[in-house]
Amino acid sequence: MKQNADPFCDKRVISSESVCSSRHFVILYNIRPTVPGHVLLVSKRHVERITELDAKEISDMHSLLRKVIPVLIKAYDAEDESYNLIVQAGENSGMSVRHFHMHIVPRNSRDRYSKKNNALYTDIERARKGLGHRHVIEQTARLRRLFSKKRIESYRT
Q: Residue 12 CB, nearest distance to Zn ion (Å)?
A: 14
Q: Residue 50 CB, nearest distance to Zn ion (Å)?
A: 14
Between 5 and 58, CB nearer to Zn ion: 5
Q: Residue 79 CB, nearest distance to Zn ion (Å)?
A: 35
The residue annotated as part of the active site, out of 24, 38, 46, 101, is: 101
Between 26 and 105, CB nearer to Zn ion: 26
Contact set with Zn ion (CB under 5 A): 6, 8-9, 46, 99
Between 10 and 123, CB nearer to Zn ion: 10
Between 47 and 127, CB nearer to Zn ion: 47
Contact criterion met (CB below 8 Å) for 50 and 89: yes
Burial 106-117 (b: 16+ CB within 10 A, else e): bbbeebbbbeee
Mark whether 101 is an active-site residue: yes
Q: Residue 73 CB, nearest distance to Zn ion (Å)?
A: 29
Known catalytic residues are 101
